[in-house]
Amino acid sequence: MRIAFTGKGGSGKSTLAALFVGQLRATGQRVLAVDADVNVHLAPLLGVDAAPAAALSHPDNVVAVRRHLLGTNPRVAGVEHFVPTTPPGPGSGLVSLDASDPVLLRHATALDSRTHVLHVGTYEPADIGAGCYHGHLAILENLLSHLRLAADDWVVCDMVAGTDAFANSLHAQFDVIVVVAEPTPESVSVARRYRELARAAGVGDLVVVVGNKVADDLDRDYLVRELSDEPLAVLSTQAGLRRARQSGACPRPDDLDDVSPLARIVEYARARPMPAHRREELLRTLHLRLAGQRWVRHAYGDVTTQLPPVPA
């Protein structure tokens, strides 16, 4: 299962993603946690030092990962011809959640033999005035499209806040996208806009809203009224969690008064895997759209040849 957490900045999406990883670990699942937020919060929340040299988007790591993904795929001329939507082909190197996987061994931090953490990275001084975070996310798009998951494997991604996922293919890479919303006008407006864009992108059914920092029934009623729907789950204001964070401790499900909202998200996601053919079609459409951009044709040539033939 692939699940992403997003929402307005400050809504608690990174903390909820960390708690969700903890819930999966507690039940023995195999997990890859990915910190894809420019602010790099999930990795530290899981106790991982997000060093710049270890970032997935570090130029040396981009080349190394793409070299593995390329394998002997004849449809891609070389690692320098990868675009964000480059799909796997014959001979591609895929990535699994096995502890012995070469990409995980080289680029991820192991919390235990069944839990690994990757972080995409953030802006560095050299990027000032010359870079865009969407460019950093391209290697994550490549990694996700080349994943080979076993039954009950989980990928948990803390996304960039807001609606930035629609600037690339990330909105099509997950089975469920959780929009975390607190009961404020600003937060629910982001949730509404995310749902609107998801419907326009053909993935509206993947999006669910989870309420967070809900103090009372009035807060809950506000979310229902403003979102025109009942949230999938609701987490109340958690004094124990706040105290743990204030002490510098990583958030754990044990810090919550009630873990049933986490279990509800697990149950919901597990029942809704995206069919492989649907994901392939979504990503094919996005690849063709990108291939039609003038700058892509100028920099990479005709990347439509990277796609598999359409079945007769």
List pLDDT tens digits, range 157-182: 999 887 777 778 999 999 999 999 99
In a domain, 278, yes or no: no
Cα→Cα distances 85→77, 91, 169, 184, Å: 15, 17, 7, 35
Residue 118: is its pLDDT beyond 80? yes
Q: For 247-287, what is each residue's pLDDT tens digit?
A: 888 899 999 989 999 999 999 999 999 999 999 999 999 99
In a domain, 112, yes or no: yes
- pLDDT for res 237: 86
Lowest average pLDDT, out of 28-32, 71-75, 164-168, 289-293, goes to 164-168
Report how far residue 230's alpha carbon sits from residue 219's, in angstroms, rounded to the nearest whole number.
12
In a domain, 279, yes or no: no
- Split at pLDDT 50, 70, 90, the class of 124 is low
DSSP secondary structure letter of residue 101 = -
Report how far residue 224's alpha carbon sits from residue 214's, in angstroms, rounded to the nearest whole number.
12
Nearest one of 238, 256, 212 to 12, comparing CA atoms: 212
Mean pLDDT on 118-126: 77
- pLDDT for res 110: 97
Mean residue pLDDT of the chain comes to 92
Q: Compute the CA torsion angle 222, 216, 182, 213 (nearest 10 deg).
A: 180
Helix, strand and coil percent figures for the chain, each rounded to 5: 45, 15, 40
- Split at pLDDT 50, 70, 90, the class of 122 is confident
In a domain, 312, yes or no: no
- pLDDT for res 184: 97
In a domain, 117, yes or no: yes
In a domain, 277, yes or no: no
C-alpha R_g of the chain = 19
**Angle at which helices 133-145 and 59-70 cross, to 10°:** 30
Nearest one of 299, 308, 310, 312 to 81, comparing CA atoms: 299
115-119 and 153-158 beta bridge pairing: unpaired
Determine the residue type at 296: V
Domain membership of residue 19 as a residue range: 2-272+285-306
Query: Total structural domains in the chain?
Result: 1
- pLDDT for res 249: 86
CATH number of the domain that residue 253 is part of: 3.40.50.300
Please report where in the chains the tokens 């894809």 appear, as a residue. Answer: 36
In a domain, 57, yes or no: yes
3-state secondary structure of 43: helix
Mean pLDDT on 136-162: 93
- pLDDT for res 162: 73
In a domain, 52, yes or no: yes
Q: For 50-109, what is each residue's pLDDT tens digit?
A: 999 999 999 999 999 999 999 999 999 999 999 999 999 999 999 999 999 999 999 999
Nearest one of 131, 138, 176 to 157, comparing CA atoms: 176
Handedness of CA 110, 111, 113, 114 (dihedral sign): negative
Alpha helices in the chain (DSSP H): 13-26, 42-45, 59-70, 102-107, 133-145, 185-200, 217-227, 239-246, 260-270, 276-291, 294-300
